[in-house]
Amino acid sequence: MLSRRPIWFQSVLVLSIALLASSLAFGQYRGRKYKAPPPTSRIEVQVTKKFNGKPIPNAAVVFNPTKDGKDLGNLEVKTDPEGKAVVDIIPTGSTVRVQVIANGYSTFGQDFLIDEATKEIAISMVRPQEQISAYEDRTGKPSDRKPGVQEPIRPKPPVQNPPTSTPVPQQ
């Protein structure tokens, strides 16, 4: 005896095949197209003391990349005990401003063009230098400026004497 499949089973089967075919046909046009990320470079920064060449651990190395005049954000990495900081997410072909901040040393900043797959940057940190003063010139002689807040000289308005009144004797 032949078994008959119910009508509803056949209709569900046909409907599911139709939905599957339509989802495959329309699925390729929906959503954004995949865009591969740009190639990146590995940047290794070695931070040392200038006077003895020893590494500076725990120095902050700030990377600020720009490409085609567009700021790509920034990233801060601390140096390891050997004085190295490594990042591998900076796009190749960009210009990156590297800034190094370490306790007891002058802040370092310089722009580098990242045009290769790997870039090694060696930075020698120096102690802070004497600042230029507005009160002494570089030779130690007193400056022409006087200490304090420098404000423009404004003429004072003439002082008017108030009318004098004679005191009234009290009784």
Residue 76 maps to which CATH number? 2.60.40.1120
Domain-embedded: residue 49: yes
- Strands 75-78 and 60-67 turn out to be antiparallel
Residue 101 lies in domain = 44-125
Domain-embedded: residue 20: no
- Tens digits of per-residue pLDDT, 61-86? 999 999 988 999 999 999 999 999 99
Q: What is the CA angle 104-109-110, rounded to 5?
A: 150
Domain-embedded: residue 3: no
Q: How much is the pTM?
A: 0.60
Domain-embedded: residue 161: no
* Domain count of the fold of the chain: 1
Residue 105 CA to residue 34 CA, distance in Å, equals 46
Radius of gyration of the chain, Cα coordinates, nearest whole angstrom:
37
- Tens digits of per-residue pLDDT, 89-130? 999 999 999 999 999 999 999 999 999 999 999 999 999 876
Domain-embedded: residue 102: yes
Place of tokens 């119910």: 6
Query: Which residues make beta-bridge pairs with 62?
Result: 76, 99
Domain-embedded: residue 139: no
pLDDT greater at residue 156 or residue 126: 126
Domain-embedded: residue 78: yes
Maximum C-alpha span of the chain:
142
CA distances for 164 relative to 33, 157, 158, 159, angstroms: 91, 21, 18, 15
Q: What is the CA angle 123-43-105, rounded to 5?
A: 25
Domain-embedded: residue 1: no
